[in-house]
């Protein structure tokens, strides 16, 4: 077996099950699960109709690059959303089976194992796929703590030059998980300049880009930032997904876009990887990317929840509205694991301890003393959870 498998740590939800093992939640309360970032809003009918109308596609092998109509729909969406020139549908876009699969596979294609001690930088707290991808690609993860006191920014000034010289890939998540922080143009400029200096590739995870609370303040995207700065997409690849945007996590549909030379090699890798998207899912994806009405309604539902739930929670927790995404990153008064266990045992509410989303790095675990609440349940359930927590 690949010895690097021994380096993988348990996923946060496995650790949560172990934390709750043998604990019986208070039967006086109905269970409310706010631990998993799985969208619960209804899947739009137009997507389901497109899926059903194209079931004949199940009789065909899909191509890894996807059909031109899907790549065109993605290019059109990116132009509408970010105000960037049309992406080349032959060289600048690859449909993928959700951003998770692509984020993992990307490191396997990018990392050059022949170079000495390659490094992959990621934010900390982080999406654990970044870590696993680095380890199984034969690279050393370098965790860059993102803290409230520095606005959850990735502060590259703290990274030793000796590490940057070995860095081949940097994962960036904006809007961030779990903070919901959106990177500014100045922050993008800084990381682009570091990429120019040290030659690393930027993997921009934008799976939460369409969950925000002000239609006039849309999160800045990486391709958009590059365009505004007068740059091309050299060493930049963006990962996007329909799961959160369109409430179709089970459809497993997204795309990568950016540097054509990198995507050419990534497509070659994927041809062997065997991860082509079903023609039926491609048809439903076209319908999703071409419609914004359902996305606006999705944002309306999240905005309503956050505006009502956050003030209630502020009576018991140190928490504030995020820039975007559907998480609240709340500071507890003590141990995050003890607090999560107490919520489960006493109030039948499941949340994720922040320490499970981070690693001990540079003298601290930046998730210690925080919990992550995913406001994916119904408005009534989220309000009920907040009322229970407020009574603690």
**What is the tens place of the pLDDT at every residue in 280-333?**
999 999 999 999 999 999 999 999 999 999 999 999 999 999 999 999 999 998
Q: What is the pLDDT, as a whole number, of residue 392? A: 83
Task: Look at residue 48 and tell me if it is in a domain.
Answer: no
The CATH number of the domain holding residue 345 is 3.90.1150.10
What's the predicted TM-score (pTM) here? 0.97
User: Within this chain, do residues 151 and 253 fall inside the same structural domain, yes or no?
Assistant: yes
Q: What is the pLDDT, as a whole number, of residue 99? A: 94
User: Within this chain, do residues 67 and 136 fall inside the same structural domain, yes or no?
Assistant: yes
Helix (H, G, I), strand (E, B) or coil at 111: coil
- The whole-number average pLDDT for the span 73-78 is 98
- The whole-number average pLDDT for the span 49-55 is 98
User: Within this chain, do residues 63 and 199 fall inside the same structural domain, yes or no?
Assistant: yes
User: Within this chain, do residues 236 and 379 fall inside the same structural domain, yes or no?
Assistant: no
User: Within this chain, do residues 33 and 124 fall inside the same structural domain, yes or no?
Assistant: no
Q: Helix 379-390 to helix 293-313 angle, to the nearest 10 degrees?
A: 10
Helices (H), the chain: 12-20, 45-53, 68-82, 99-110, 128-136, 161-164, 185-198, 222-228, 243-246, 260-273, 279-289, 293-313, 336-347, 379-390
Instruction: Compute the mean pLDDT over every residue in the chain, rounded to the nearest whole number.
Output: 97
Last residue in a domain, options 245, 266, 291: 291
Taking the alpha carbons of 70, 75, 78, 80 in that order, is the dihedral positive or negative? negative
- pLDDT of 185 over the 90 cut: yes
- Residues 352-379: pLDDT tens digits? 999 999 999 999 999 999 999 999 999 9
User: Within this chain, do residues 30 and 78 fall inside the same structural domain, yes or no?
Assistant: no
Radius of gyration of the CA atoms of the chain, in A:
21
* Total of domains in the chain: 2
Number of neighbouring beta carbons within 10 Å of residue 145:
21
- The whole-number average pLDDT for the span 112-130 is 97
User: Within this chain, do residues 344 and 255 fall inside the same structural domain, yes or no?
Assistant: no
User: Within this chain, do residues 384 and 273 fall inside the same structural domain, yes or no?
Assistant: no
- Which domain range does residue 20 map to? 9-38+294-390
User: Within this chain, do residues 85 and 213 fall inside the same structural domain, yes or no?
Assistant: yes
Q: What is the pLDDT, as a whole number, of residue 344? A: 98
- Residues 24-36: pLDDT tens digits? 999 999 999 999 9
- The whole-number average pLDDT for the span 219-233 is 98
Q: What is the pLDDT, as a whole number, of residue 388? A: 98
Q: Model confidence at 391, in pLDDT bands (50, 70, 90)?
A: confident
Helices (H), 111-259: 128-136, 161-164, 185-198, 222-228, 243-246
Q: What is the pLDDT, as a whole number, of residue 339? A: 98
Backbone angles phi, psi at 211, to 5 degrees: -105, 100
Q: What is the pLDDT, as a whole number, of residue 117? A: 97
Q: Model confidence at 277, in pLDDT bands (50, 70, 90)?
A: very high
User: Within this chain, do residues 29 and 89 fall inside the same structural domain, yes or no?
Assistant: no
User: Within this chain, do residues 88 and 218 fall inside the same structural domain, yes or no?
Assistant: yes
């Amino acid at each position: 077996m690949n010895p690097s498998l021994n380096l993988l740590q348990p996923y946060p939800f496995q650790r949560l099950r172990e934390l709750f093992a043998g604990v019986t939640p208070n039967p006086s309360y109905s269970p409310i699960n706010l631990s998993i970032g799985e969208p619960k809003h209804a899947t739009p009918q137009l997507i389901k109709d497109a899926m059903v109308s194209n079931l004949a596609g199940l009789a065909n092998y899909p191509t890894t690059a996807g059909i031109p109509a899907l790549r065109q729909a993605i290019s059109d969406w990116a132009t509408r959303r970010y105000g960037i020139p049309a992406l080349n549908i032959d060289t600048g876009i690859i449909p993928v089976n959700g951003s998770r699969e692509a984020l993992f596979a990307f490191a396997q294609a990018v990392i050059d194992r022949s170079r000495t001690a390659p490094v992959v930088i990621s934010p900390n707290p982080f999406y654990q796929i970044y870590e696993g991808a680095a380890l199984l690609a034969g690279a050393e993860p370098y965790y860059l703590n993102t803290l409230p006191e520095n606005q959850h920014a990735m502060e590259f000034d703290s990274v030793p030059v000796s590490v940057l010289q070995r860095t081949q890939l940097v994962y960036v998540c904006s809007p961030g998980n779990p903070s919901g922080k959106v990177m500014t143009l100045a922050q993008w400029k800084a990381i682009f300049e570091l990429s120019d200096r040290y030659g690393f590739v930027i993997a921009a995870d934008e799976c939460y880009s369409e969950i925000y609370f002000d239609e006039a303040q849309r999160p800045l995207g990486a391709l958009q930032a590059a365009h505004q700065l007068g740059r091309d997409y050299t060493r930049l690849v963006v990962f996007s997904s329909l799961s959160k945007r369109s409430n179709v996590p089970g459809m497993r549909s997204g795309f990568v876009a950016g540097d054509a030379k990198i995507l050419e090699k990534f497509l070659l890798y994927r041809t062997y990887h065997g991860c082509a998207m079903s023609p039926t899912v491609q048809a439903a994806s076209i319908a999703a990317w071409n419609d914004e009405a359902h996305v606006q309604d999705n944002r309306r539902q999240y905005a309503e929840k956050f505006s009502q739930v956050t003030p209630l929670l502020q009576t018991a927790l140190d928490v504030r509205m995020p820039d975007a995404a559907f998480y609240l990153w709340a500071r507890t008064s003590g141990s995050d694991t003890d607090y999560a266990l107490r919520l489960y045992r006493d109030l039948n509410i499941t949340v994720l301890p922040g320490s499970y989303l981070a690693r001990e790095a540079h003298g601290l675990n930046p998730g210690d003393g925080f919990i992550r609440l995913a406001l994916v349940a119904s408005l009534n359930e989220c309000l009920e959870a907040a009322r229970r927590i407020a009574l603690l």
